[in-house]
Chain A
Amino acid sequence: MKLVTAIVKPFKLEEVKEALRSLGVQGMTVSEVKGFGRQRGHTEVYRGTEYTVDFVPKARIEVLADDADADRVVEAIVAAARTDKIGDGKVWTVPVAEVVRIRTGERGHDAI
């Protein structure tokens, strides 16, 4: 099993969700996060004083997938989230040792 984590532009979240749904993904977890990569931040101005804002808002998506599905999940996210402009984000996968569905106690593949 794999955990796929993606950081994407917030306005791309809807498209990524739809892409994963049409792939048959059953569930996902999203959160509002902030950070910076090569895009860096932006400048805000209040009463003439400039503030450099380093951390820009992003959406983080977490999806659990079987080993066989993980690559397709990654590709779907990349395709849906890409704008070809700086700041599109990143996707990575890590191996997962165990998954338990809390309601039923099912484990592993059945819990995904």
Chain B
Amino acid sequence: MVDSGDTAWVLASAALVLFMTPGLAFFYGGMVRSKNVLAMLAQNFVCMGLVSVLWVLFAFSLAFGPDLGGGLIGDLGLAGLTDLSRSGFVLPGYDGLTVAPLAFAAFQLMFAVITPALITGAVADRLRFPAWLAFVGAWVVLVYAPVAHWVFSPNGWLFELGALDFAGGAVVHVNAGIAALALVLVVGRRRGWPGEAMAPHALPLTLLGTGILWFGWFGFNAGSALAANGVAAEAFVNTNTAAAAAMLGWLAAERAQGGKATTLGAASGAVAGLVAITPCAGFVSPLASLAIGAVAGVVCFLAIRLKFRLGYDDALDVVAVHLVGGIMGSLMLGVFARDGGLVGGDGAALLGKQFVAVGATLAWSFVVSYLLARVLDATIGLRVDADEEAEGLDLGEHAETAYAGAFGSMGELGPTGRSNP
């Protein structure tokens, strides 16, 4: 039975989640050097294009279509989304859903758009645009769709096991975080890292992006209630609370290390809190979300050091924020969940299931992402050449520059004499 209020909220939430991808683009774009900002924005924006097309054609069906067996992946029965608008249609496993099925498909699409986009921060400044397109297309089909099916679909094996993931701690953040690590290991370090200074070129853009992310995350988490009800309201409050606590936690950790409270720290801390509360949002109390956020803010700050210790060039700290934050949130849910959590006296059964869900996501996503990256690197090549990396990807990949200098308008029509016919 479709409820108009629930459908309205999920449609609005879908739009909120879509807005997160441009927000993420600016969050990342401000952190790269000015010669690579358009390439970063483009890698994020193109996810809205490519994933949307794949989703309608068949990716939604793989994730949420009728189970093909064993709770591993859906079949192609819902390809094209045609059946979803048929009256009386019930999505497999979602018998009690009060949201129009197409609204649900649109909402879930936005998750599939932003999840691969999260990866771009790790491999910033060195990825060929065509290779990124190929990676995203294959990754959504081979990694995102199955993991979403396992965890989100009521027919998925992790869902049936009883593992909880309110809005995508495993499906989105652990999944993207470990894939980012796999891609970094194949693509390699930026030339000059870690010795050369590669400071952010426009932190105001990063802070603007953070604001957009925070705003959109209300749709991400509260929309995941799939109803306009008390659970949605609780997820909304918890989302805000965890972001706030994590921001303060990160800033406190910076001060405790003898540094100053930085704007980039405030932005990073807020995002870390939003990541960590994602799996928990509708399952914990506001006070628990305070603890989850504070822990995430401090731990993700400390996790930045991992890349220097281990020597992988995760350019914008996708591992520290999304992988570590996603794992922490998914596991802390086993501790703080109102029903089944350790603190409620319900034992460690849920925590064990959370470990299984995180472990399965880590294993599948890492192995498939790594192999996919190796194959693409050996065939079409993932990485730009040394000259282009030095010159910047904006010019090399897109034939554009972001910022016109004082003499920026002095060009002439190109040597081919070609103009718009």
Contacts and interface: CB of A to CB of B under 8 A. Distances in A.
Interface string B248-274: 000000100101101011001000000
Contact of B268 (A44, A47, A51, A52): A47
Interface of B: 197, 199-200, 254, 257, 259-260, 262, 264-265, 268, 301, 304-305, 317
Contacts of A47: 262, 264-265, 268, 304, 317
B262 A45 contact: yes
Interface of A: 44-48, 51-53
Interface of A is mostly: strand
A53 B200 CA distance: 13
A42 to B, nearest CB: 12
Contacts of B254: 48
A51 B260 CA distance: 14
Contacts, number: 24
Closest 9 pairs (CB-CB, A-B): A51-B197, A51-B199, A47-B304, A45-B259, A46-B264, A48-B304, A46-B199, A46-B200, A47-B264
Contacts of B262: 45-47
A48 B259 contact: yes
Contacts of A46: 199-200, 262, 264
A49 to B, nearest CB: 8
Nearest to B302: A48
A45 B317 CA distance: 15
B298 to A, nearest CB: 13
B62 to A, nearest CB: 37
B199 to A, nearest CB: 5
9 contacts: A45-B260, A46-B200, A46-B264, A47-B265, A47-B268, A48-B257, A48-B305, A51-B197, A53-B197
A53 B257 CA distance: 21
Q: From B197, B257, B317, name the one whose CB has the most chain A CB atoms within 10 angstroms.
A: B197
Nearest to A48: B304
Given A47-B264, A51-B197, 14 more contacts: A45-B259, A45-B260, A45-B262, A46-B199, A46-B200, A47-B265, A47-B268, A47-B304, A48-B254, A48-B257, A48-B304, A48-B305, A51-B199, A52-B197
Contacts of B260: 45
Contacts of B199: 44, 46, 51
Nearest to B259: A45
Contacts of A45: 259-260, 262
A34 to B, nearest CB: 14
Contacts of B305: 48
Contact of B301 (A48, A52, A53): A48
Contacts of A44: 199
A30 B304 CA distance: 42
B55 to A, nearest CB: 34
A14 to B, nearest CB: 21
A18 B260 CA distance: 37
B313 to A, nearest CB: 12
Nearest to B263: A46
